[in-house]
Amino acid sequence: MSAESVLPWGRASRFAGPGAGWSEVGTGLAQLAAAVGERHHGVPLPSGDPLAVLAAVADALGPERIPESGVGPATALARLAELVAAYGLDLTHPLTAAHLQPPPLTVAVVADALASATNASLDTYDSGPATLAIEQWTINALARLAGFTETAGGVFGPGGSYSNLLALLIARDYTAAGHGVNTRQDGVGGLHRPIVLCSRIAHFSVHRACAALGLGEAAAIPVPVDAEHRMIPEALNALLTELGHSHTPVAVVATAGTTDFGSVDPLPALAEITARHGVWLHVDAAYGFGSLFSDRLAGLLTGIERADSITLDLHKVGWQPAAASVLLLADQQRFASLSRSVAYLNPDDDVEAGYGGLLGQTLQTTRRPDVLKVAATFLAYGRNGLGAMLETCHDLAGYAERRIAAEPQLELVAPVTLTTVVFRYRCEDLDLDQVNAELRRRLISSGTALIGRTQVRVGGSGEPRTCLKLTLLNPETAAADIDALFDELLRVALEVESEALEQSDEMATIHE
């Protein structure tokens, strides 16, 4: 790749200008693809001990200092592409099934390059008009899909954790205003014992948000869940009734698609209760929102239209490169607590004349147009295209569930709701927590398959046990790949089991 492109007006440039500069990006990508092709490990993760893998990458980069003079773009990019190919993760591999981290759609990756190439920002009109309008269009389309009315608004952000933080910040300020307290100006001191209620298995970002917002993690009150890992409405009602007078409930956080089980809290019942108690209802649908793309699965989210705010992550079910998270508010006016007038960005007279932007709807200033990849995906595949992809992943999870049921050594720990399957390996005379943890590490270090792990109270009671988890987000994975994954898992499990038994025999001999 040459270091410079020739612009339409005949000047050479090293910058990604529209036209010639962008085609230089395309040429560069084609050259990267060639470099990757030669070095790609062809498995989900590189094999080997994690510290050795990290050290190999660091070694290849050389001394830890910025070089005094560069090697030029082509060599620099080829070197990095080779490192990523040889030591990185391949999310498109059919035996990659650990996290809510999907293979990214090609159309989204190209649109993301466009986002980088424009380097537009969403804070003001003059930092990028087109993408400002594209974000509004996409937010409105998502709000409509959620069942919100015309009063709704929303904003893109760098992840579900951030969207949850923003939701709780807005809920905190809104609730405080109802008690005559201005938290934005005066802090949380004037709020009487603020609490946030969420299920016992809500995402940890809710607790972190409570800490960041000055409420403290102890303000997150855990509500019990039923055997299907869903918040128990009666328990929420009892807690709100008991604590409602002595505390200030800032929000109830319902989860639509828990990270481990995909379980969805009973939204209609929770909406009834929060309405009755006058408490903000936030739905963390980071994982589950994509169900609305599918006619078959959309019913899971009935009631979401009654939320005050919704977090959704299209870098999970949505097949976007990270990040593509959105916070939707049922009432756009409630963004008011984030409004900000900055002399050099959005002075009032400029805003009145139409030169404003979205600075006042988020905590970010410079904000990249992540929306471009999302809009490109929606236009390219439509709701049906995305729905079909989700349904294929849901079918794969069902297939894995049946394979687990058919294997005497495997125990299904939770039924499939969306695209995760939680299970564990069972054997006699060994600590199952250790065996399952070692089994997963062994799969990772061999590089052959990548699966997840978590802790679950098996059967709903007792101590949490180490379990294994598949998160299936690749619709190009086939049933035969799922079988290959389980074959490999069972092979390695036997290896782990027999080694552990040998070791415990040795221990027994030593102690004799």
Ligand X SMILES: *Cc1c(COP(=O)(O)O)cnc(C)c1O
Q: Which residues contact 48 (CB under 8 A, 6 or more apart)?
A: 445, 447
Contact 427, 73 (CB under 8 A): no
Nearer of residues 138 and 258 to ligand X, judged by Cβ = 258
Q: Which is nearer to ligand X, 265 or 438 (CB)?
A: 265
Choice between 160 and 360, CB closer to ligand X: 160
Q: Which position's Cβ is nearest ligand X?
A: 160
Q: Could you list the residues that contact ligand X (CB under 6 A)?
A: 100, 159-161, 164, 203, 205, 255, 257, 259, 284, 286-287, 313, 325
Check residue 214 and report its DSSP letter. T
Question: How far is residue 264's CA from residue 301's CA, in Å, rounded to a whole number?
Answer: 7
CB of 473 to ligand X, least distance (A): 12
Token pair belonging to 423:
């299970």
Smallest distance, ligand X to C-beta of residue 100, A:
5
Q: Is 503 helix (H, G, I), strand (E, B) or coil?
A: helix
CB of 160 to ligand X, least distance (A): 2
What are the Cα distances from residue 438, in Å, to 70, 400, 441, 467, 489? 44, 21, 5, 11, 11
- 3-class SS at 394? helix
Shortest distance, CB of residue 287 to ligand X, whole angstroms?
Answer: 4
CB of 231 to ligand X, least distance (A): 13
Nearest to 364 by CA among 211, 214, 156, 184: 156
Closer residue to ligand X (CB): 161 or 454: 161
CB-nearer residue toward ligand X: 96 or 259 = 259
* CA separation for the pair 495, 96 (Å, rounded): 21
CB nearer to ligand X: give 287 or 378.
287
- 205 or 417: CB nearest ligand X: 205
Cα 503 from Cα 310, distance rounded (Å): 51
Tell me how far apart the terminal alpha carbons of the chain are, to the nearest angstrom. 69
d(CA 174, CA 229): 30
In angstroms, what is the minimal distance from the CB of 322 to ligand X?
Answer: 7
The minimum distance between CB 315 and ligand X, in angstroms, equals 6
Beta carbon nearer to ligand X, 138 or 164: 164
Sorted by sequence, the CB contacts under 8 Å of residue 390 that are 6+ apart come out as 290, 291, 293, 294, 297, 317, 419, 475
Residue recorded with tokens 């481990």? 260
Q: How far is CA 288 from CA 37, 88, 133, 297, 390, in A?
A: 34, 28, 26, 10, 11
Considering the complex, what minimum distance in angstroms separates the CB of residue 220 from ligand X? 13
DSSP lists the bridge partners of residue 423 as 412, 468
- The distance of closest approach from Cβ of residue 413 to ligand X in the complex, given in angstroms and rounded to an integer, is 18
